A and B are shown apart, each in its own frame.
Chain A
């Protein structure tokens, strides 16, 4: 069974703090993704990575950065948290080149509140 874990289910941070959201997958997947989910907007892609030390911007990268130092771990960083970054953050992973479906497996999500 593929397992994607996220470091926290709930997180409360203050405006201006640096925030780290961690994601770990245990199935040797090449691809990893960070989304944010807001009511009425669906899932929006922030960043993704196809390989270690590699990253690509998604649709809403502003205010975020990522790090992938090891294949199994993909971190999302809010350099200076703002209230408009209050949201649910979902991490996902999938097989890489040559996969059939590229089906994404999701973590349980982190609900971040910035006050």
Chain B
């Protein structure tokens, strides 16, 4: 079975500081992808970053980076230089590359990040 675990229901960080949001995953498949989405209070889901299981380098997108540790099955999101607009719910998700379920994502329960001035 596929599972995503986000153990931090809420996180607080001061503006301009870095913050790490934890995500661990469980799958027996060798080929998979990991995603992070942001959901502001307005409700829309915004794709942030992606890491493939065979990618050797950690993914980066601007202030976002994904700390991928395959042996530990973790895919933590690091946000550098936090901004007030980063306050949102963050979801980790996994895609497993198997025919019958190709394309579906498994989501964690989310982490509510609050950035304070």
Contact = CB atoms under 8 A, between A and B. Distances in A.
Nearest to A41: B109
A61 interface: no
Interface residues of B, number: 20
Given A50-B103, A94-B103, A108-B44, A101 B108 contact: no
Nearest to A33: B104
Contact of A102 (B37, B43, B103, B110): B103
Contacts of B47: 103-105
A55 to B, nearest CB: 13
**Secondary structure at chain B's binding surface: helix, strand, loop or mixed?**
loop
Interface residues of A, number: 27
Interface in B9-54: 9, 33, 35, 37, 43-45, 47, 50
Given A40-B9, A42-B6, A42-B110, 12 more contacts: A42-B91, A42-B107, A42-B108, A43-B91, A43-B107, A94-B103, A99-B103, A101-B35, A101-B50, A102-B105, A103-B35, A104-B45
